[in-house]
């Protein structure tokens, strides 16, 4: 097996907005840049703050662990999520 040149891990947050649970939307810093968190706890704190701010019981939230492994011939990206 080829050893990776780098491995990076971070967390993202998504919510359903006002779609009633049909669609998931990445929480962003701006239109082109998703919000990344270094630690799971930081992502959870963000969700807790936003749940209070939006105060919408129908809006669902999830945090996503993202692992990027870089190889000479390209990157492998693995995303695992859990609803919070």
Q: Domain-by-domain residue ranges, the chain?
A: 35-65
Q: Rounded to whole angstroms, how far apart are CA atoms 40 and 35?
A: 13
- H or E element that contains 78: strand 74-83
Q: For 42-53, how does the pLDDT look when each residue is reduced to its tens digit (9 = 90+)?
A: 999 999 999 999
> For a pLDDT cut of 90, what percent of the chain falls above it?
44
Which carries the bigger pLDDT value, residue 63 or residue 1? 63
Q: What is the residue-averaged pLDDT of the chain? A: 88
What does the DSSP assignment read for 20-40? TTS--EE-EEETTEE--BSSH
Q: For 15-25, how does the pLDDT look when each residue is reduced to its tens digit (9 = 90+)?
A: 998 787 788 89
This prediction's pTM: 0.80
User: H-type helices in the chain, by residue range?
Assistant: 40-54
């Amino acid at each position: 097996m080829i050893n990776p040149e780098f491995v990076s891990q971070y967390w993202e947050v998504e919510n359903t907005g006002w779609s009633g649970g049909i669609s998931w939307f990445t929480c962003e810093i701006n239109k082109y840049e998703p919000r990344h968190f270094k630690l799971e706890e930081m992502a959870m704190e963000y969700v807790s703050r936003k749940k209070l701010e939006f105060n919408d019981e129908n809006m669902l939230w999830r945090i996503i662990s993202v692992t990027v492994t870089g190889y000479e011939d390209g990157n492998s990206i693995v995303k695992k999520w859990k609803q919070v």
